[in-house]
Amino acid sequence: MNVLKKILGILWIVLGPVIILFLIMQAIEKVAAAAEGIARTNTTLQWSIIILIFIPICAGLMIFGVYAFKGEYERLPTSSDEL
Amino acid sequence: MSSNKNDVTQSITQVIAASSLGTLIEWYDFYIFGSLAVIIGQQLFPSDAGASALINTLAIFAAGFIVRPFGALVFGRLGDLIGRKYTFLLTLVLMGGSTFLIGLIPSYSSIGYAAPILVLILRLVQGLALGGEYGGAATYVAEHAPVGRRGFFTSWIQTTATMGLFLSLGIIVLTKNLIGAEKFADWGWRIPFLVSILLVGVSIYIRMKMHESPVFTKLKSEGKISANPLKESFQKKANFKMVLLALFGATMGQGVIWYTGQFYAQSFLENTCKLDFNESRYILLWAIVLATPFFVVFGSWSDKVGRKWIMLSGMLLGIIFYRPIYQYFIDATNVKEFQKTELKTATAPEITRELVKGEKDSIITTTSYKTLNSGFTFKESVVKIIPDDVLAPLPEDKTVIADVTLPGKTYVIIILLVFFQVLLVTMVYGPIAAFLVELFPTQIRYTSMSLPYHIGNGVFGGLVPFIATLVASFPGSTPLSGLWYPIGIAALSFIIGAVYIDNRGDRNVMD
CA distances from B379 to B291, B339, B366 (A): 32, 12, 10
Q: What is the pLDDT of residues B342-381, one digit of tens each?
A: 888 989 989 988 877 667 788 889 999 999 999 999 999 9
B95: amino acid identity, one letter = M
Q: Do residues B245 and B501 make contact, with C-beta atoms less than 8 angstroms apart? A: yes
First to last CA, chain B: 18
Phi, psi of B187 (to 5 degrees): -135, -20
B199 has pLDDT over 80: yes
Decide if B491 touches A, using CB distance below 8 A.
no
Topology annotation, domain B12-333+408-500: Growth Hormone; Chain: A; (1.20.1250)
For residue B83, give how far its alpha carbon lies from the nearest alpha carbon of chain A (Å): 20
The domain locations on chain B are 12-333+408-500, 338-399
Put simply, whether B51 touches A (Cβ < 8 Å) is yes
Q: Is pLDDT above 60 for B194? A: yes
pLDDT tens for B265-309 read 998 999 899 999 889 999 999 999 999 999 999 999 999 999 999
pLDDT for B8: 44
**The model's pTM:** 0.85
Across the interface, which of A61, A67, A80 has its CB nearest the CB of B241? A67
Rounded Cα–Cα distance for residues B83 and B311 (Å): 30
| Helix/strand/coil for B42 | helix
CA distance A82 to chain B (A): 8
What is the DSSP code string of B434-485? HHHHHHS-GGGHHHHHHHHHIIIIIIIIHTHHHHHHHHHTSTT--TTGGGHH
B467/A50 Cβ within 8 A: yes
Contact B251, B308 (CB under 8 A): no
Q: Nearest 5°: CA angle at A19, between B232 and B433?
A: 40
Cβ neighbour number for residue A35 with a 10 Å cutoff? 12
Q: What is the Cα–Cα distance from A63 to B305, expressed in whole angstroms?
A: 31
Which of B95-99, B386-390, B503-507 reaches the highest mean pLDDT? B95-99
Kindly list the distances between the CA atom of residue B101 and the CA atoms of B54, B104, B129, in Å, as whole numbers in the listed order.
21, 5, 15
Q: What is the ipTM of this complex?
A: 0.92
Q: Mean pLDDT over all residues of chain B?
A: 86
> Is B265:B34 a contact under the CB 8 Å cutoff?
no
Domain-wise residue ranges, chain A:
2-73
pLDDT, average across residues B481-495: 96
Distance from A5 to chain B by nearest Cα, in Å?
Answer: 7
Looking at residue B3, its pLDDT comes to 46
Residues A27-78 have pLDDT tens digits of: 898 888 777 765 556 678 778 888 988 999 999 999 999 999 999 998 877 6
A72 to B241: CB separation less than 8 angstroms, yes or no: yes
Cβ distance B473 to A53 less than 8 Å, yes or no, reads no
| Rounded CA separation B79/B77 (Å) | 5
Backbone angles phi, psi at B107, to 5 degrees: -80, 175
Work out the percent of chain B whose per-residue pLDDT is above 70.
Answer: 92
Distance CA B57, CA B350 (A): 31
